[in-house]
Amino acid sequence: MRAKIIGTGSCLPTKVATNDDLSALMDTSDEWIQSRTGIRERRLVSSESETTLSMAAQAGKAALTDSGLQPEEIDLIIVATVSSDFVTPSTACMVQKELGAVCAAAFDINAACSGFLFALNTADAYFQSGIYQTALIIGVETLSKIIDWTDRSTCVLFGDGAGAAVLRASEQGIIASLQGSNGAGGHVLMCKNRGNNNPYISTDACLDYLYMDGQEVFKFAVKKETECIHALLAQAGLMPEDIDWYLLHQANQRIIASIARKLKLSLAKFPSNVDHCGNTSAASIPILLDEVHKAGKLKDGDLLLLSGFGAGLTWGAALLLW
């Protein structure tokens, strides 16, 4: 049995921050941001009631409603995030409580922007082994709290939000998948954790913020995502034009356009929301999936190829039947 997506949901914070809004906070411009990234605006949390947990729970609830399953029918909850509210308990355990999914095992995974694909592939592996039959997977980020707001080359790129999918073990669903990591490249995109509180190790207990070498990440993204797509197509014996929808990690419209060009495909097969969401890291693919699903664009039997890359470095992809 393989994982089939039977419901989706998403949640965005209420505050819209346009490029002009950011220009009032720092030396940047709508022209610079749009021409390099395609981003017009992003959503940012703006009150204490909007948290990683609140967005994850809301997206999860919407996905459950869409699926028709009851919370207690969920066997597994996986939350992909690098910006949880607590070190422990995990966001997944807190979502379990919020939703009343009392039968579910719950845990978080950290694979940055590839996190939703790692969650999907993990749930699919549980289904293939017969351990579980249903799962709720969520990608959620509140990156605004770990971004360096004095670094204009990174802070303008990101947004907050959550996306979710309910999965059921089915005869048809995921057709092929892959994931990988290269820890040796991790230094191009990183965010240190808290200082060490061990009494025998003296460090400053200050928080660090996100650092990114944008050009290195750009090159890695275009090369690795294109490789992943070709590898999945080869596994399935398909050509690029056989895929109905490519749902790629929404980091930058130029990355998406470069990949479409390399595959010699029209951008019409590459829906995008980076213009109004920015890069929401682990949440970007499930938010996009929810948008295209709720817009009625996906038909039964459509072939979807999901692909993402992120800090770690990590990458993941899945080819599935809708």
Site for ligand ACO in 161-190 (CB under 6 A): 189
Our answer to whether residue 206 is catalytic in this structure is no
Residue 252 · residue 310 · CB < 8 Å = no
Distances (CA, A) of 252 to 156, 202, 204: 11, 40, 35
Smallest distance from ligand ACO to CB 279, Å: 5
Span of 2-10, 97-105, 211-219, 257-265 interacting with ligand ACO by CB under 6 A: 211-219
Our answer to whether residue 293 is catalytic in this structure is no
Span of 6-14, 49-57, 76-84, 309-317 interacting with ligand ACO by CB under 6 A: 309-317
All residues at 6 or more sequence positions from 47 whose CB lies less than 8 Å from its CB, including other chains: none
Peptide bond into 89 cis (omega under 30): yes
Catalytic residue among 93, 155, 228, 249: 249
Report the DSSP beta bridge partners of residue 316.
Answer: 179, 308
Smallest distance from ligand ACO to CB 275, Å: 14
Smallest distance from ligand ACO to CB 157, Å: 6
- According to the binding rule CB under 6 A, does residue 252 interact with ligand ACO? yes
Span of 47-55, 74-82, 160-168, 212-220 interacting with ligand ACO by CB under 6 A: 212-220
All residues at 6 or more sequence positions from 87 whose CB lies less than 8 Å from its CB, including other chains: none
Question: Which position among 15, 175, 218, 236 is part of the footprint of ligand ACO (CB under 6 A)?
Answer: 218
Query: For residues 214 and 240, which CB has a smaller minimum distance to ligand ACO in the complex?
Result: 214
Smallest distance from ligand ACO to CB 303, Å: 25
- According to the binding rule CB under 6 A, does residue 152 interact with ligand ACO? yes
Our answer to whether residue 279 is catalytic in this structure is yes
- According to the binding rule CB under 6 A, does residue 277 interact with ligand ACO? no
Residue among 263, 262, 293, 29 at smallest CA distance from 164: 293
Catalytic residue among 113, 155, 191, 228: 113
Residue among 161, 75, 68 at smallest CA distance from 113: 161
Site for ligand ACO in 38-97 (CB under 6 A): none
- According to the binding rule CB under 6 A, does residue 37 interact with ligand ACO? yes
Span of 72-80, 229-237, 265-273, 308-316 interacting with ligand ACO by CB under 6 A: 308-316
User: What are the residues binding ligand ACO (CB under 6 A)?
Assistant: 28, 32-33, 36-37, 112-113, 152-153, 156, 189, 212, 214-215, 217-218, 251-252, 255, 279, 281, 309-311
Active-site residue list? 113, 249, 279
